[in-house]
Chain A
């Protein structure tokens, strides 16, 4: 049973990590807590669902198209809301509140367009096979999703650490003004970041929709709470820390159920959140006082 629970913890954790990835990217570089990320996540899943069932595209085409769609939505939010507030030099709270509004708008829109009931991707899309190792069983689909999340995360970390683009982004994370003085096209990279973060959010929505068969207009809100918890636990501004935070949150939840009781699962994981905020505000895996997107 314990081996199975370890597998459960990794698979749940990688879901949180995947969601936290785009979320933390925006925070690290734009310095904004984008609460519409849950809405983008949800609409990404719906976009893929429509492309698969209405346009009858194969999955390999639907996934990137839906990601681009989600990315464009993120771009629109940046251009219509965040940019305006940036220009105005609005205090930190403003973009947060504005993106809550955007999230509510997206939820209501999805409800009107698709109805409020839970839907799922076509069941015959993938083999519903299980990988079995002794007493452990992992749905093949879930294993590939965990694998894909890891690939996306490693790719993001590699871009940020090892490329010129990453260097420029990290410079912006350090100080947008100084970066602009150095000739870095800050606005353009803000747009790019918004696009990539939203595309990652959309991908998370699609992959999570696939592994749990639960697409609904309300799927974003609980995931947003978990995503916030993951990035606070891990460390607010670093992609690597957010990913570890997601895995840590998944493990906390699963082991709370295993060794304590499912009744106390959320009490434990969110209680831990308070403790981290009190004793290690930079997060469990974040480096104190150095910004590293």
Chain B
């Protein structure tokens, strides 16, 4: 009898003691990513990175004993869907903060909802300029193309001794188009002549007409702010046409897929990226090993950024006292975030306030030095 009574008594005392102790509660964080549709090639690795971080944080006791629970929603890479999902996360699931959406386009659509509801919208893969102009509740951990590209280009000019370049990009996609704009600006700043500019449309697989024209213009290098799937094809076809010069890519080029699909055609390609798989820091190596173990594939930049982002928010959560009052907690988290600095898989990270836009305060951009690397013997090698 006595042995049965003991656990019951213990449970009772725990119940009685509850007002004094904080009960272990779930901290609900929204995660809106493109899990289906074409953008899922970014959204799924991002989600995987987040889940990995969630498990790691919870395994070490969560936030002062409270578990982080990610509320996942599929925004399918579409603006309308991103808006719906954000509304659901904020008003129905009552999350403390929402990560995502995957594409810059979707963030432009869904960000304002979070901003007016005074909930942090935290992008980990949005690189377009102007995202954080939406308002003070918009954060992102992904460096803008506008920050990465000038560094890439400067390094490439030094390494390849460039005088004139050709450009090929997709003009029907916000991501590649904004990559092109950023490159064009950086090229002007460095006084590099553009001898030919070619475009293609989403879904194209044959780029030989454009590449034949580029070849005739005799550039010292070809700038390709393209996604990796088109990029691999462009590289292969360029080599088949006898184009020997280096390619310089934007954010989309920076994927192991490029090497896997283009193989030797990718030699000499120069890319800038916030993440470098060869970065020997223990945080990064630990991340890569854990990711491979859990998913059986190699992580990419997007999974690394997702992984780090949850740690950044976890660090902010440790700095505040959660009251259970949703609005108050959301605001406290928002106020704690800007000061967080973190060394993770992507290296050292800090926030940088976006300059006010039309007199209105902006959000926070990533303040991170990109890695510039060159494909050398089939591997991304750091370019100093």
Contacts and interface: CB of A to CB of B under 8 A. Distances in A.
Interface string B275-305: 0000000000000000000000000000000
B232 A5 contact: no
B257 A118 contact: yes
Contact of A222 (B40, B171, B202, B229): B202
A174 interface: no
A292 interface: no
Chain B facing A: main interface SS? helix
Nearest to B241: A137
B36 A8 contact: no
A15 B206 contact: yes
Interface in B235-267: 236, 240-242, 257, 261, 263
Contacts of A175: none
Given A111-B36, A213-B232, A12 B199 contact: no
B209 interface: yes
A219 interface: yes
B220 interface: no
Contacts of A137: 240-242
Contacts of B355: none
B171 A208 contact: no
A123 B212 CA distance: 23
A262 B198 contact: yes
B40 A116 contact: yes
Interface string A132-170: 000001010010000000000000000000000000000
Top 9 A-B residue pairs of the complex, sorted by shortest distance between their CB atoms: A222-B203, A118-B229, A212-B205, A257-B209, A254-B209, A8-B208, A262-B199, A139-B240, A117-B41
B34 to A, nearest CB: 9
Contacts of B257: 117-118
B213 interface: yes
6 contacts: A9-B209, A11-B206, A117-B41, A213-B232, A262-B213, A263-B171
Interface in A219-247: 219, 221-223
Interface string A204-224: 000010001110101101110
A262 B242 contact: no
A257 to B, nearest CB: 4
Interface residues of B, number: 34
Interface centre among B202, B212, B257 (most CB of A within 10 A): B212
B51 to A, nearest CB: 17
B37 interface: yes
A12 B261 contact: no
A214 B233 contact: yes
A262 B263 contact: no
Contacts of A119: 261
Interface in B190-228: 198-206, 208-210, 212-213, 215-216, 228
A126 B44 CA distance: 32
Given A137-B241, A212-B206, A212-B233, A257 B41 contact: no
Contact of B41 (A116, A142, A221): A116
Nearest to A254: B209
Interface in A170-191: none
A53 interface: no
Interface centre among A15, A116, A263 (most CB of B within 10 A): A116
A156 B31 CA distance: 52
Contact of B261 (A15, A213, A223, A257): A213
B38 interface: yes
Given A130-B240, A261-B199, 18 more contacts: A1-B216, A9-B209, A11-B206, A11-B208, A12-B209, A111-B37, A117-B41, A118-B229, A120-B232, A120-B261, A214-B229, A221-B203, A253-B209, A254-B208, A257-B210, A258-B209, A258-B213, A263-B199
B326 to A, nearest CB: 35
B268 to A, nearest CB: 17
Contact of A12 (B202, B206, B241): B206
A8 B236 contact: no
Nearest to B260: A120
